[in-house]
Structure 1
Amino acid sequence: MRIVFDLDGTLIDSAPEIRGIANALLAEEARAPLTLEETKGFIGNGAPAFIARMRAARDLPQAAQDRLLHGFEARYETAFGLTTLYPGVRAALEALRREGHVLAICTNKPIGPTLAVLAHLGLEPSFDTVIGGDSLPVRKPDPAPLWAAMKGEPAVYVGDSEVDAETAARAGVPFLFFTEGYCHLPREEITAAAMFSDFEDLPQLVSAFA
């Protein structure tokens, strides 16, 4: 079976990194920095949506969108110092591969930073397919990126947000909900085949769908 993962808020905790980049941009605009909770609340629909939400929160004009997005993406390509794996992720991925599953990524993070952070963390060889937020003309919750990551094979999707839950539902695949990420809704409002808070539990959950 193919196990497709979201990235930010699912496999990696990148919110402190994203906050640092955003606050460097806001400092240049003479605006107050984002809190970590604000940052987490803005993550989920890709870099353009993050910048739009940041602008709205700090009263920056639409005309600044492209300039701020360019500055954000330029810094994002090489920013890894504050990004960490969630506990148990590496062992869970290794266990799933030993059991014969094929692993893939489907994220709204741009493909450049996605590949760069996977390489930095030593995870790039673990994944057969990596689909970023700019790999296709559409991004999640459109199901097309998830279908591209699935390559026509039976799959489950592992993610942390309402965007991921909607993507899985629209793609017609089971959704496994990691509850410790960046979801913007109460967990009881998320429709999922299963929920987990510890990656040690993931291989056993996956086995129910294999």
Structure 2
Amino acid sequence: MRGTIVFDLDGTLIDSAPDIHAASNALLVEDGLPELTFEQVKSFIGKGVPHLVTRVLEASGLDPAGPKHAEFVHRFEARYETAVGLTVTYPGVVPALEALAGAGFALGICTNKPVGPTRAVLDHLDLTRFFGAILGGDSLTVRKPDPAPLHATVAALGGSAERTLYVGDSEVDAETARRAALPFLIYTEGYRKTPVADLPHTAAFSDFADLPALVAHHTPPRP
């Protein structure tokens, strides 16, 4: 194995915001509430379903600490399992994954999306075949930016910190990498709200065609 690369999912490999927006608004409409804008819901993505629901309820003028929260989480997760029809991979993702796997890297997923919807969308987009380990936001008792899920993904791949890179798109990913003490490659076209220069990162890229060369540059030579 040449090294280990762990990827975030939403906003990094796939653009799932349209499906998440549609699923969120479907719940609101069912309850007779006004729909939220795409940009509103997109800004809520990244910290897992409970956080997403909290923000949706707040934006709808409802108490996020009230009984509606647990109900919305349950209903959203049930809908989320099949919310794949509007989701696409970012340009160049598949060729980049093929190149990295072909070069001998072990690839994994560490996301705050629940593992059921994660596997469903990976299967739908024919991406599951690339990944030797897939951890979701409900795989452990903690979520990113706690470093435990990232460390667990690396361990599941049989990797070591010295030869691991983390690839993500957001403030949560940057903080996760910092806490895990791993090099971080940031994809600049995802769901980030903070300027790239203000986030700790090893390298930035806007085109997945550039990723294999970046990975090669930042992976130590094999002994």
- 1:184 is displaced (CA, Å) by 2.2
Q: Which deviates more from structure 2 when the two are superposed, residues 147-156 or residues 91-100?
A: 147-156
Aligned counterparts of 2:127 and 2:60: Cα–Cα separation in 1:
35
Q: Which deviates more from structure 2 when the two are superposed, residues 49-58 or residues 61-70?
A: 61-70
Q: Which deviates more from structure 2 when the two are superposed, residues 48-57 or residues 29-38?
A: 29-38
- Listed as ranges, the gaps of 5+ residues in structure 1 are none
* Aligned position for 2:174: 165
Structure 1 vs Structure 2: percent identity of aligned residues? 57
* Structure 2 residue 4 is matched with structure 1 residue 18: no
* Aligned position for 2:74: 70
Aligned counterparts of 2:188 and 2:41: Cα–Cα separation in 1:
17
Per the normalisation by structure 1, the TM-score is 0.98
- Listed as ranges, the gaps of 5+ residues in structure 2 are none
2:191 to 172, 176, 182: 182
**Counterpart amino acid of 1:141?**
P
* Aligned position for 1:155: 164
Aligned counterparts of 2:127 and 2:30: Cα–Cα separation in 1:
34
2:104 to 97, 100, 116: 100
1:59 to 58, 61, 67: 61
- 1:16 is displaced (CA, Å) by 0.3
Superposed CA offset, 1:82-134 (max 9, x none): 00000000000000011110100000000000011111111111101001000
* Structure 2 residue 220 is matched with structure 1 residue 207: no
What is the count of residue pairs matched by the alignment?
A: 210
1:135 to 134, 139, 148: 139
* Aligned position for 2:119: 115
**Counterpart amino acid of 2:52?**
F
**Counterpart amino acid of 2:218?**
F
Aligned counterparts of 1:79 and 1:43: Cα–Cα separation in 2:
15
SS at structure 2 position matched to 1:7: coil
